[in-house]
Structure 1
């Protein structure tokens, strides 16, 4: 008798990586739900075509706010796998991010500041205070921070997934940080990994650490990957002695489809848990590809 299809919920499923995770999960015959603020992706930015691909019709594209559990917690019911595939590269005024009014210089100054931003422990939030509220910026508007988006939203989502009995939780972390990326960008991701692994031992935690990802659908990512590949080559030639100095600039870039395939394969393989680095991502993607060739 055929086994029931796995149910997967992808928070951030309309993004660059998230949409491709949905694609490969559909290919496995899984029941796929995407959660994001805008619902279905703007396909011209997610793929090379403005037309929705055929596989997208098999995804339930849901609108919700990751900072407001009441908007998405019912969607986690009976989920086998839950994925957190969202975050921010640069901190900025919440409304400024949406409207494009955020001053890029001030955004960079905030992002590269080493001082942690105030935030509440998502594990101690009761029903009366279930929402994650970003701290206010100087303008009075809400401020998206690494602590809230990269760490606290992931911990809260993992808590809700564990309560619903999910067997595995995948957190999209990162391979490296400074100097290319702000220090707090990577430290908040590592903090999320540590807390999730410690607090929810009954739920298999998979922490994928992708490098710079690229695809021709987003030309800017191809240029970034080319620069990173040069850094990774230099790091390799020097025997890795520059790894800690170069951060993400010294890690081999991967095509976004490779990472997406690896995520789906990692969830389906119960032996995979904990941090998943670039070499293992490549191996998992190759294993997934071989399965489609059989």
Structure 2
């Protein structure tokens, strides 16, 4: 998942007295709206000739506009790419802004460099129909609580304040760990973020809990082929799951038994959550893969 470092403010926070009339509060959630415009010159008293015939115009209007927090990271960039492939308008907010690589889809994303703690949300959330957060990372206990928890809580509340109808959070599988391990800042931060999403968006918030996410990850100009490990492991664990199920109740057993998840499956599951109004709540590993398949088909 993308690490979102805490930086000084790059822009002032929006004033509380901002006139909300300029920002849509409940935009439509359909991927495309179709509308017809019918006009008749005859109705306006024009001469009844070829110019007065009824004009039928049917247009497809892109109505989905998603903001991806951490969109230049491993998971975030996959989400941006998948959303673009499905005709969704994408805005990314991250510390690094636009990626350095030159894939064709990159030019179709609006890249904003900033920090969720200080960003001017007026410049980010205008017209958005959903916010997707991939924020998270490792560090000291306090750093993990702030990056995994507080940063996401800030984003959820900003989205709610601006009337964004859906919030999607990339969280993490708990690996069946004992409570004393789940008390670390990483997991407590993630669960705090989950609670905020599900309380502020009880009927439209989506939390994805993948295990190890594999794919081709770019690090400092190099590509790490995590799929060379993750993909075979996923297939093997799928093949033997009937034999390993009795072990799933053992503490920390999922450290070995939880199947890895393709970054593309995570991305397409997010796209499904963006476009499906009936999708909400927590998605397990298997449910992430099922949701991704709906979009792939």
TM-score under structure 1 length normalisation: 0.69
Q: Give RMSD over aligned pairs.
A: 2.7
Shift of 1:259: 1.0
Which structure: greater helix fraction?
1
Q: Which residue of 2 aligns with 1:205?
A: 205
Quote the residue 1:254 is aligned against.
261
Task: For structure 2, list consecutive stretches of 5 or more residues without a partner in the other structure.
Answer: 1-34, 36-59, 218-222
- Residue of structure 2 aligned with 1:69, choices 105, 109, 119: 119
CA separation of 1:231 and 1:258: change in aligned 2, threshold 3 A: closer
Shift of 1:246: 2.5
The alpha carbon displacement at 1:40 in A equals: 1.1
> Aligned-pair distance for 1:58?
0.8
Per-residue deviation at 1:199? 3.4
**Cα distance in 1, alignment partners of residues 144 and 190 from structure 2:** 8
Which structure: greater strand fraction? 2
Q: Quick check: 1:86 aligned with 2:92? A: no
* Distance verdict in 2 for CA 1:286–1:64, change over 3 Å: same
Report the count of equivalent residues. Answer: 229
Name the structure 2 match of 1:131.
Answer: none
Which structure is larger by alpha-carbon Rg, 1 or 2?
A: 2
Deviations 1:120-145 (A, max 9, x none): xxxxxxxxxxxxxxxxxxxxxxxxx2
CA distance in 2, matches of 1:265, 1:200: 17
**Deviation of residue 155 (structure 1)?**
1.1
Secondary structure in 2 matching 1:219: strand
Change beyond 3 A, Cα 1:194–1:162? same
Cα shift readout 1:203-253 (whole Å, capped 9, x = no counterpart): 611001111111145436346537964677776523153354224432111
Match of 1:157 in 2: 155
Q: Distance in 2 between matches of 1:74 and 1:206?
A: 24
| Equivalent in 27, 30, 39 of residue 97 of structure 2 | 39
CA 1:53 to 1:177, structure 2 compared with 1: closer, same or farther past 3 Å? Answer: same
Contact 2:71 2:93 in 1 (8 A): yes
Contact in 2 for aligned 1:83/1:170 (Cα 8 Å): yes
TM-score (norm 2): 0.69
Measure, in 2, the Cα distance between the counterparts of 1:240 and 1:216.
33
Unaligned regions of 5+ residues in structure 1, if any? 44-51, 93-109, 111-116, 118-144
